[in-house]
Amino acid sequence: MNLQNYLQHLLEQRQQDNLYRTRLTHENTHTPMLTIAGKTYLNFCSNDYLGLANHPRLVDSLQQNVNKYGVGSGASHLVTGHSDIHHEAEQILAEFVGRERALLFSTGYMANLGIVSALLKRKDIIFSDKLNHASLIDAATLSPAQIQRYRHNELEHLQHLLAKSSAPHKLIMTDGVFSMDGDLASLPELVKLAKMHDAWIMVDDAHGLGVLGKNGRGMLEHYQLSQDDVPILMGTLGKALGVFGAFVAGSELLIDALIQFARTYIYTTALPPAIAGAVITSVDIVQKESWRREKLQESIHYFRHIAQQRDIPLMDSFTPIQPIMLGTADKAMQASQQLKEKGIIVTAIRPPTVPQNTARLRITLSASHEKSHIDKLLDSLANIW
């Protein structure tokens, strides 16, 4: 088939299924506000959970480091792209999450691909939660290892699969906080299972880092799990930390192996050094401004409390991710459009991002939301219901 005809067919199908994606183009963002076509909206779907993306100290740090290092890193880490400030950011991240060593990656997506490609071979096996983030699914799919998907957080199912496997290396991988549902992986139990079956465990803490734990060290601080319990930790820097990029943390040997074998680390340009500098500043803010986590938790409680009073159906989540399940893609699109008309942006999340018939509004709260913003959201939601 002619390429143009083929593309036309693909896109028409996407539109018919109500799954066609468009991009909201904004002129300005200052969490929690977004300006689109000259109009200001309240944003309830960003991952800037602590409201750091516009923090004056971060902006200042980035500017100063651009003055010192320039913009681009100029090469990959193994050629000449690795600067002292990348190195320092890695040390600070390792210390922050209580691991021996950390390694910066350009994105979380690439970090997940890199871990799996570096560690697993053809006879090995990956156990993956069915609701894991797309980047973990892709990491598994692109690796030569076998894949077994276990039902979401169902440990008995996982145990059954683990017991049946005689693969030389077994890797359990899971989101820490599930990105579209907001619930937590049952990590302490997963860690026990991993130990019992001689499996490795990897946690993607994209939505826990900065948010969970007294000091914002994430899911593993929340559950008090050590490097020995969870040997492979991935964290992203573009969500609660408000910057960009990602890292993997673990033992010296793990990081050394990733430097040698993770193709998404080796064959790509290093992050701009000034970004690494901003990460250092962000880790400092995350620890010093603990009021942001406290305010966020208060907002989550408040939102849930009032939503329940108004019969707005919530899911079982105490994280900033507060989805409202609508079922069909049409319903989710309609609700999102109605909110937009009321000055609120919450994008509809549809398949294949989530399973069939679980399209939803994925509301996210941020420390930058004030009570009046949440009231406006609740009023608008109640109105739509």
Ligand X SMILES: *Cc1c(COP(=O)(O)O)cnc(C)c1O
Contact positions with ligand X (CB under 6 A) in 183-202: none
Contact flag: residue 148 with ligand X (CB under 6 A)? no
Residue of 194, 173, 59 lying closest to 115 (CA atoms): 173
User: Which of these is catalytic: 239, 295, 369, 373?
Assistant: 239
Contact positions with ligand X (CB under 6 A) in 234-263: 236, 238, 246
Contact positions with ligand X (CB under 6 A) in 336-375: none
194 neighbors 172 (Cβ within 8 angstroms): yes
Contact flag: residue 204 with ligand X (CB under 6 A)? yes
Nearer to ligand X by Cβ, of 101 and 207: the residue is 207
- Contact window for ligand X (CB under 6 A) among 76-84, 105-113, 289-297, 326-334: 105-113
Contact flag: residue 181 with ligand X (CB under 6 A)? no
- Under DSSP, the state recorded for 270 is P
- Contact window for ligand X (CB under 6 A) among 50-58, 67-75, 102-110, 280-288: 102-110
Residue selected from 90, 124, 175, 183 as contacting ligand X according to rule CB under 6 A = 175
User: Which of these is catalytic: 55, 86, 207, 295?
Assistant: 207
Q: Which helix (H) or strand (E) holds 7?
A: helix 3-16
Strands of 63-208, DSSP E = 101-105, 125-129, 146-150, 170-175, 200-204
Between the alpha carbon of residue 232 and those of residues 26, 110, 158, 300, 303, the distances in Å are 36, 15, 19, 29, 34
Strands of the chain, DSSP E = 28-30, 33-36, 39-43, 101-105, 125-129, 146-150, 170-175, 200-204, 232-236, 246-250, 321-327, 344-345, 348-349, 359-364
User: Which of these is catalytic: 179, 282, 299, 368?
Assistant: 179
Note if 376 is an active site residue.
Answer: no
Other beta carbons within 10 Å of 374: 22
Q: How many residues bind ligand X (CB under 6 A)?
A: 13
Nearer to ligand X by Cβ, of 143 and 236: the residue is 236
Residue selected from 206, 275, 324, 333 as contacting ligand X according to rule CB under 6 A = 206
Smallest gap from Cβ 225 to ligand X, in A, equals: 18
Between the alpha carbon of residue 112 and those of residues 133, 326, 353, 377, the distances in Å are 10, 30, 17, 34
Nearer to ligand X by Cβ, of 109 and 127: the residue is 109
Note if 369 is an active site residue.
Answer: no
Nearer to ligand X by Cβ, of 185 and 307: the residue is 185
Other beta carbons within 10 Å of 325: 17
Smallest gap from Cβ 247 to ligand X, in A, equals: 10
Strand 246-250 and strand 101-105: pairing? antiparallel
Note if 179 is an active site residue.
Answer: yes
Please state, in angstroms and rounded to a whole number, the distance separating the CA atoms of residues 41 and 117: 41
Residue selected from 46, 148, 179, 380 as contacting ligand X according to rule CB under 6 A = 179
Contact flag: residue 48 with ligand X (CB under 6 A)? no
Contact flag: residue 108 with ligand X (CB under 6 A)? yes
Residue of 361, 359, 340, 337 lying closest to 350 (CA atoms): 359
Residue selected from 43, 65, 73, 135 as contacting ligand X according to rule CB under 6 A = 135
**Could you list the residues that contact ligand X (CB under 6 A)?**
107-109, 133, 135, 175, 179, 204, 206-207, 236, 238, 246
Residues carrying an active site annotation: 179, 207, 239
